[in-house]
């Protein structure tokens, strides 16, 4: 089969889609099952078919199969390829990022997010410890933040280095193929760095380092040389913690979790979670409603020019209730309809909030009758003639 699987190649009932990652114990592929489901397929490297590596790979499948927990990645299948007999483990495919990837993209996490991630990781470790299983490789790359239904759910990955507390000892050499002890040096507990037996508190030490990294955005130990890192863990000197950690509400919890001596550390996940519960979580952000401006058809509107409805001026403004403004002087000629002058005076109006403005008709203002100048002249002449005639008739009557 070769060292790497090809895109489109079938492994039993799984079709390889693409590579998700590679590690010391094998490569992980996105694959599609014969039912159309996306899965993560971890296949052991061909050059590790014999010895301790194969035993470790098979042990991971056995441990994860026993650990059915909401915060531990779910095992779907385990078997051996037909062509080369390579062991493979089939896991649920998870959408999201590891803590390592999220820190690289986003920087330090908020306090609320740190508390939630640490709580869920402790829940997973408690389940494993209750079954007598120590993970031995807790690190940001093995804490996965799955996106599920609009929220973030922790999934603990990679039990390939897990160890049963009873019935199993560390491998005789305690070394990996590359010559380093089991585990990732930067997150290794002092017991592992010294080659001693691990206990539940060994996972707590590693999780304490992850907790500190979520606060600062970078590892507690920044040395590049593996030997220097392991010497730092194995020494009795307390780990140097960044100022951001000292200023954090979680400072005391971090110091207690990464204490060098086991008897000075939290004994297990339950004890550390109890300490976390004493930290007051920050309040959830409250959504502040954004004011919405009134729509154009709303009853409260401001107008810069008079609005005429049915040839009647409505004044310069329409509001729900507006005091009468001072009279507006119009430069143009007044409106005259069939000899009747309609004064251009605004009026106080009340409009129901439920009534559309375009259906409202203003009551007509009081009408003032005004006689045209031409009519007044003719009336005066007529009255004068009538008076003259009446005077003439009265004079004739008196003479007779």
Q: Is position 158 annotated as part of the catalytic site?
A: no
The number of residues in the chain equals 400
Active-site position among 38, 62, 130, 137: 137
- 226-256 burial, b at 16+ Cβ within 10 Å, e below that, comes to beebbebbbeeeebebbeebeebebeebbbb
Positions annotated as catalytic residues are: 137
């Amino acid at each position: 089969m070769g060292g790497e699987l090809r895109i489109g190649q079938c492994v039993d009932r799984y079709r390889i889609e693409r590579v998700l990652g590679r590690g010391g114990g094998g490569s992980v592929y996105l694959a599609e099952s014969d039912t159309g489901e996306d899965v993560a397929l971890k296949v052991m490297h061909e050059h590790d078919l014999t010895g301790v590596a194969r035993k470790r790979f098979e042990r991971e499948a056995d441990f994860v199969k026993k650990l059915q927990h909401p915060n531990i990645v779910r095992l779907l299948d385990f078997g051996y390829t037909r062509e080369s007999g390579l062991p493979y483990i089939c896991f649920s495919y998870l959408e999201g990022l590891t803590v390592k990837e999220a820190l690289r993209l986003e920087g330090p996490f908020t306090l609320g997010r740190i508390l939630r991630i640490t709580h869920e990781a402790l829940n997973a470790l408690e389940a494993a410890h209750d079954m007598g299983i120590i993970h031995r490789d807790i690190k940001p790359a093995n804490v996965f933040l799955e996106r599920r239904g609009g929220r973030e759910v922790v999934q603990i990955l990679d039990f390939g280095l897990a160890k049963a507390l009873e019935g199993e000892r560390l491998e005789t050499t305690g070394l990996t193929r590359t010559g380093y002890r089991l585990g990732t040096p930067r997150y290794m507990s002092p017991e592992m760095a010294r080659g001693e037996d691990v206990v539940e508190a060994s996972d707590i030490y590693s999780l304490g380092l992850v907790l500190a990294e979520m606060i600062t955005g970078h590892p507690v130990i920044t040395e590049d040389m593996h030997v220097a890192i392991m010497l730092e863990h194995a020494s009795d000197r307390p780990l140097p913690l960044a100022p951001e950690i000292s200023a954090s509400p979680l400072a005391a919890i971090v110091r207690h979790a990464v204490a060098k001596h086991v008897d000075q550390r939290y004994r297990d996940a339950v004890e550390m979670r109890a300490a976390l519960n004493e930290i007051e979580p920050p309040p959830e952000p409250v959504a502040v409603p954004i004011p919405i401006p009134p729509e154009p058809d709303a009853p409260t509107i401001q107008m810069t020019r008079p609005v005429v409805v049915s040839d009647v001026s409505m004044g310069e403004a329409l509001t729900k209730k507006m005091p009468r403004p001072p009279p507006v002087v119009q430069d143009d000629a007044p409106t005259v309809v069939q000899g009747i002058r309609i004064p251009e005076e605004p009026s106080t109006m009340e409009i129901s909030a439920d009534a559309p403005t375009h259906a409202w008709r203003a009551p007509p203002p009081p009408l003032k009758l005004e006689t045209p100048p031409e009519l007044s002249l003719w009336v005066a002449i007529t009255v004068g003639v009538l008076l003259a005639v009446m005077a003439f008739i009265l004079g004739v009557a008196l003479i007779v």
